[in-house]
Chains A and B, each alone.
Chain A
Amino acid sequence: MRAIWFFASLAFTACLIGLWQLASATGLASPIFLPAPTRVLDALVAGFSSGAMPAKLGATTARVFVGWALASLLGVALGALIGVSQRARIYIAPSLEFLRPLPVSALVPIFIGLLGYSEQMVLAVIAFGAFWPCLLSTIHGFSAVEPRLYEVSKVLGLSRWSMIRKIALPSALPDIIAGMRVGLTVSLILVVVGEILGSREGIGYDILLAQRAFKSPDLFAGIILLGLVGYASAIAIDWLESRLVRWR
């Protein structure tokens, strides 16, 4: 039964692509804006066979992953420190909540001023953007730990470190992963911003160049690749979640 539905949804997607092809073939959609799927596929094949596309895809994916991983580590560590201490939460959390709705892309001009049009600038933007959701959900996860568990750990004479590692961290894990998931989405959004504004080689910069040259098949090829990176990362984090929170 599941297989039938899978093929049905595959067929629906294929139908949409077919309609798209039909619209381009009949001239309903301008080829300048909406190239036929076959032309997009040609652009993808050409990009991959020349070796240019894999290199750019690799650069972009590496930036997303490094920035996100850095942000997650820092976010969890700092979030744990703030989250376990009621005192720290009272002093620090409101400031963090104030900064939460700030669009991180607004910081790009300032990062460019400090770090120039460099690789570090792109990484710093991604890491900074992915840091917030991870930090805030870690704080939330740690402050939502059942207070009795804290009391138990006190009775057992656990040190603060082993209390964090053995009791608070596992309990906060679902929140942490939720924050890391948002962080990954943010990283992907920001890698495009960083590449475009910093003129760094990658898929994000590539689609801007394609747009400027009116090469719409290349533009769509880039968008599809970025979408695939997003899709793959969503699946990867689902897998991570199912592995880590299996005991729930």
Chain B
Amino acid sequence: MNQAAPLRQPIRAARPLPVDLRPFLLPLAVVGLAEVMALLFVPADSFSLAAPHQIAVEFARMLVDGTFLVRTLETLGAAMAGLALGGLLGLAAGVMLGLSEAADKVTSMTVEVLRPMPPTALIPLSLLVFGFGLTMEIAIVAFTTIWPVLVLGRAAVRETEPRLMEVAKVLRMSFFRRLTRIVIPGAIPRIFVAFRLAAAIALIVSVTVEIVANPRGLGYGMMLSSQALRPATAFAFLVWIAIVGWGFNRVLILVERHLFGGLQGDAR
């Protein structure tokens, strides 16, 4: 016997199915309840609510006719461009502040004042400067993603093994060489985590910008159908936005696992 008896009995000892179906019960129950409630209380031509089957029909239509595809690419494109810009700025600043304690202390007040700024407050400003379109969305996403990457990148650089830095000193490596050979490679797994978190934020911010102001992407599609008093379409967009957000995060987590596996959070 190499199997020790479990200390705590699981809720259901035997699992007859390879897939655990229990997590699906709640969503199914919610959809079922919504369908019944909609049939009983919501008129078919309601301006604010729709029955799940109406939403499903709209969902399928937009999935097939390419509406979702076009709008998703617009949103993801803006989110990724903003992340690239903001992430690189944040990374550069984070590495610098992580390496130099003096620089970190001198800029601390500026960083602490700018960091809690709600990104939505910048929507009118970005609109004033850039007008409607891709640029204003990228600018806001970039501003938002600077901070998480800066903070986590700074922490990652600080974790650099001090002995490696001593070795670098002995070897008389230049600052640039030290950066590219020791500091950055050591910090890469944690920098990736920073970018993954920032990517999730970037997606949320771009949808928000589209909802509030910018006439493009998923957020605008949702806003438009809601203002056209087509709740089934609006809800279908909402479901799709949820799926995109979830799928996007899943992909990033899988990439992270694939690249760094068990190394996560390990300094080695």
Asked if A204 meets B121 with Cβ closer than 8 Å, knowing A92-B26, A106-B222, the reply is yes
* CB atoms of A113 and B49 under 8 A apart: yes
B-chain residues with CB within 8 Å of residue A210 when the two chains form the complex: 124
* Stretch with Cβ within 8 A of B (4 or more), from A66-74, A93-101, A167-175: A93-101
A9 touches B125 (CB 8 A): no
Chain B minimum-CB-distance residue to A214 = B128
Candidates B8, B22, B109; contact of A13 at CB < 8 Å: B109
Contact of A233 with B by CB under 8 A: yes
At the interface, yes or no: B53 with Cβ under 8 Å from chain A?
Answer: no
Instruction: Tell whether, in the assembled complex, residue B208 and residue A109 are in contact, meaning their CB atoms are under 8 Å apart.
Output: no
Chain B interface residue bracket vs A: 35 or more
Whether the pair B128, A101 counts as a contact (CB closer than 8 A) is no
Contacting pair B242 A99 (CB below 8 A): yes
Distance in Å from the Cβ of B26 to the closest Cβ of chain A? Answer: 5
User: A9-B110, A95-B27, A193-B212 are known contacts. Are A211 and B125 too (CB-CB below 8 A)?
Assistant: yes
Size category, A interface: 35 or more
Q: Which residues of B contact A5 (CB under 8 A)?
A: 105-106, 108
Interface string of A125-160 (1 = CB under 8 A from B): 000000000000000000000010000000000000
A245 to B211, CA, bound (A): 38
Does chain A have a CB within 8 A of B249? yes
Interface pair A103/B204, CB less than 8 Å apart: yes
Docked CA distance A211–B132 (Å): 13
| Chain A proximity of B249: nearest CB distance (Å) | 5
**A219 x B11 contact (CB < 8 A):** no
Known contacts A106-B238, A113-B226, A12 near B208 by CB under 8 Å? no
Choose among A90, A210, A233 the residue with the greatest number of B CB atoms under 10 Å from its CB: A90
> Which residues of B sit under 8 angstroms from A91, Cβ to Cβ?
22-23, 25-26
Contact with A along B116-148 (1 / 0, CB 8 A): 111111111101110000000000000000000
Q: Which residues of B contact A28 (CB under 8 A)?
A: none
Distance to closest chain B CB from A221 (angstroms): 11
Name the B residues within 8 Å of A197 (CB-CB).
Answer: 211-212
20 new A-B contacts, CB < 8 A, other than A102-B242, A193-B120, are A13-B109, A13-B110, A91-B25, A101-B203, A101-B242, A103-B241, A105-B207, A105-B208, A107-B238, A113-B48, A147-B8, A188-B116, A189-B120, A190-B120, A192-B123, A204-B121, A207-B124, A210-B124, A211-B128, A227-B116
Interface residues, chain A, CB within 8 Å of chain B? 5-6, 8-10, 12-13, 16, 32-33, 86-87, 90-95, 98-103, 105-110, 112-114, 147, 185, 188-193, 196-197, 204, 207-208, 210-211, 214, 216, 219-220, 222-223, 226-227, 230-231, 233-234
Residue positions of B touching A, CB distance < 8 A: 8, 11, 20, 22-23, 25-27, 47-49, 105-110, 112-114, 116-125, 127-129, 200, 203-204, 207-208, 211-213, 218-219, 222-223, 226-227, 231, 234-235, 237-238, 241-242, 245-246, 248-249
12 A-B contact pairs sorted by A residue (CB < 8 Å)? A9-B107, A93-B23, A99-B242, A101-B203, A101-B245, A108-B211, A109-B234, A189-B208, A208-B123, A226-B117, A227-B118, A230-B118
